[in-house]
């Protein structure tokens, strides 16, 4: 297959390109921000290949045309530009970016009426299994457990809490009859008094090269349950994104998730 990558020179972009090459696919186009120093360079150099004759460019509908799918790991503003090009060229899109506001999410959902859109907060199969396990835990555990969510990422990540952490919060609220109206507590400081039973703590750590760690704590009197996922390599996320692109290529318009790809639904 021929895939395009938006954010091709980034940490995820180069990993995705390497896996695309390893799986026998070809690079259709590689996109970057206008200010990127890689604009105009042969994209193959990003993963040690010579002469692939695909040059990194700004997002461009003409260059996107004909791709089997495009994989996006950029920023919300860049994703919106790419989404417009994908709709105009009827190109399936895998969105791995996070940090979207409600208006941007609405545009993503509207676009899925025109093209196949795979939109998920995390491309890892392991994380999506965590989502499923959390659904059951939230449904089964009785009232009396305080719930806290923590997430850790590298110091370059721009949004907080992570999209995955916010999705974990959403799963708890949708599945726990005791926390449907709970408020997220993203900051605690000073004499705050006893813990409010109607809150779910959201704690964020940023530092170094942490790939991604997420834990949901169910803390009761006399016991604690911890559901965790720790990534030690970006390869899991990149492989999930490439499998997602393989999956939605040729599909009908609609909204898909990684659960469709790995059969977790």
Show which residues are catalytic.
153, 157
8 Å CB contact between 67 and 250: no
What pairs with residue 256 in β-bridges? 118
Beta pairing partners, 213: 152, 230
**Residue 258, helix vs strand vs coil:** helix
Q: Which residues pair with 4 in a beta bridge?
A: 29, 70
DSSP summary character for residue 142: P
Contacts 24+ apart (CB under 8 A), 232-237: 234/11, 234/12, 234/15, 235/15, 235/19, 236/123, 236/124, 236/125, 236/126, 237/12, 237/15, 237/96, 237/122, 237/123, 237/124, 237/212
Question: How many CB atoms within 10 Å of residue 263?
Answer: 6
Distance (Å, whole) CA 78 – CA 13: 14
CA 178, CA 265: separation in Å to the nearest integer? 25
């Amino acid at each position: 297959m021929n895939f395009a990558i938006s954010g091709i020179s980034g940490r995820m972009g180069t990993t995705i390109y390497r896996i695309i090459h390893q799986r026998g696919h070809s690079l259709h186009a590689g996109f970057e921000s206008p200010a990127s120093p890689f604009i105009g360079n042969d994209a193959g150099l990003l993963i040690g290949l010579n002469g692939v004759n695909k040059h990194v460019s700004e997002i461009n509908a003409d260059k996107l045309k004909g791709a089997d799918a495009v994989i996006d790991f950029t920023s919300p503003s860049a994703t919106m530009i790419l989404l417009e090009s994908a709709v105009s060229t009827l190109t399936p899109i895998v969105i791995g970016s996070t940090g979207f506001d409600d208006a941007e999410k609405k545009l993503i959902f509207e676009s899925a009426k025109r093209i196949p859109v795979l939109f998920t907060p995390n491309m890892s199969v392991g994380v999506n299994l965590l989502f499923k396990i959390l659904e059951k835990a939230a449904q089964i555990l009785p009232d009396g457990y305080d719930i806290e969510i923590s997430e850790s990422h590298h110091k370059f990540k721009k949004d907080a809490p992570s999209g995955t952490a916010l999705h974990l919060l959403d799963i708890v609220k949708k599945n726990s009859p005791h926390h449907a109206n709970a408020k997220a507590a993203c900051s605690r400081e000073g004499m705050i008094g006893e813990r409010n039973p109607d809150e779910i703590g959201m704690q964020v750590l940023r530092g170094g090269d942490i790939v991604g760690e997420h834990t949901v704590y169910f803390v009761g009197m006399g016991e604690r349950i911890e559901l965790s996922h720790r990534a030690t390599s970006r390869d899991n996320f990149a492989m999930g994104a490439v499998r997602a692109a393989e999956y939605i290529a040729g599909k009908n318009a609609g909204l898909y998730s990684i659960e469709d790809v790995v059969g977790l639904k």
